[in-house]
Amino acid sequence: MAFEFTLKFSLPLVEPDLEELVERLGESGCDDALVGIGQAGRIGLQFTRHAQSAVAAIVSAIEDVKRAIPSARLIEVGPDFVGLTDIADIVGVSRQNMRKLMLAHTRTFPTPIHEGSASLWHLAHVLEWLVERGTYAIDANVREVAHTAMQVNQTREATQVPHRVQKDYRELIS
């Protein structure tokens, strides 16, 4: 199966030649990705990777990048953090339609991970909510990638919380 996802990394302070970097990525197995190098100190890779599962696809892609650039640090796996426009694009409806749906179901629509003038959700939560409603057919691979991306991002974030305070935080939010 083919899985589409994005990996974003920060690069080492001393950046190698970008052409050489792209060549090393291709040699390490990232020949199934479009490489974006527009922002200094960052690299983004848009993958279409064939694997048995989204987990296998994403893990192997991260390993391939780390083999090419050992000092690269994973910033984010996507799609995960999304706004209403992103969700609407993935589902195939207008942003206005998605906003109406959200407002009509404020008690059951997934809680945003950031609420403000531009709210953000975990894509996996919104897709599952839409599937549970039975009104939207969401590709299983898209759902699997969104779920896996969320898990990787949450795990990455959790590793930054000192172990001594994790228990206290869990008690606060449960």
Average pLDDT of the residues of the chain: 91
User: How many Å apart are CA 31 and CA 49, to the nearest integer?
Assistant: 9
Q: What domains, with CATH codes, occur in the chain?
A: 2-78+149-158 (3.30.70.3400), 81-138 (1.10.10)
Helix intervals (H) in 9-118? 18-27, 54-68, 84-91, 95-104
Q: Look up residue 98 and give its two tokens.
A: 């998605």
Helix (H/G/I), strand (E/B), else coil: 122: strand
- Asked if the model's pLDDT at residue 149 lies above 90, the reply is yes
Specify the higher pLDDT residue, 85 or 172. 85
CA distances from residue 158 to 45, 137, 153, 154, 162 in whole angstroms, order as listed: 23, 32, 9, 6, 9
90-130 pLDDT tens trace: 999 999 999 999 999 999 999 999 998 889 999 999 999 99
Q: What is the pLDDT of residue 7?
A: 98
Q: What is the pTM of this model?
A: 0.88
